Amino acid sequence: MAELTAKLFRGYFGGSWLGKITKNGEFLREILFNWPIAFEKYSSIGTEVGLITPPGSGFYDDTNKVCVAGWREDSKRWCMTWFNEFGGYGETQWTSQENVNGVTVLFGFCKECKQESDDLTHHIVLCEMTDQDNFKYRINSFKKGLVEIEAHRIRTAEELKSLMLVHNIEVELFTDISKYS
């Protein structure tokens, strides 16, 4: 198996993605998520109200989440940690990669707690990066079953960053205008 690199994650996942979620083969819903800052030391995905991702499009489920991701040099792993409005949290660590028939496959594990009072659950995760604009993510556990997200890129990281800059300027202009109304 090939060693993971931070460059792989920063270069691939930046941008906006539209995906469809299935659980045990049954379609659940579509999901939109943004990974706006894939060029810095750390990256984040935000699904709180008021950000680019529309309300109700929580990552994996219908909770609002904030996710921070980054490279952990000491263990050579890409780690993502998230928190939701119910006191829940989780962490995914990508541990290795392999090329299978021209498809990059990432392997890892995940632990999560949906809300503050829940027990921690453990999952196996796998991501097939079929080309530069498509991937299939699988999370599998005894408790959850098999959840799959098939996603395709709808915006590059550069396009998303430009959109966010324009969006921030519009918010600033609206704020300035509302001061004088």
Q: Judge whether 65 and 83 are in contact, CB under 8 Å.
A: yes
Q: Of 64 and 14, which is predicted with more confidence?
A: 14
Q: Look over the chain and give the mean of its residue pLDDT values, rounded to a whole number.
A: 77
pLDDT mean over 5-25: 86
**Residue 170 is inside which H or E element, if any?**
helix 157-179
Is position 95 within any domain? Answer: yes
pLDDT for 75 beyond 60: yes
Q: Of 40 and 76, which is predicted with more confidence?
A: 76
Q: How many domains does the chain have?
A: 1
Q: What pairing do the DSSP bridges indicate for beta strands 42-46 and 134-141? A: unpaired
Which CATH number covers residue 121? 2.40.128
The pLDDT, as a whole number, for residue 36 is: 64
Is position 24 within any domain? Answer: yes
pLDDT for 56 beyond 60: no
Entry field: residues in the chain:
181
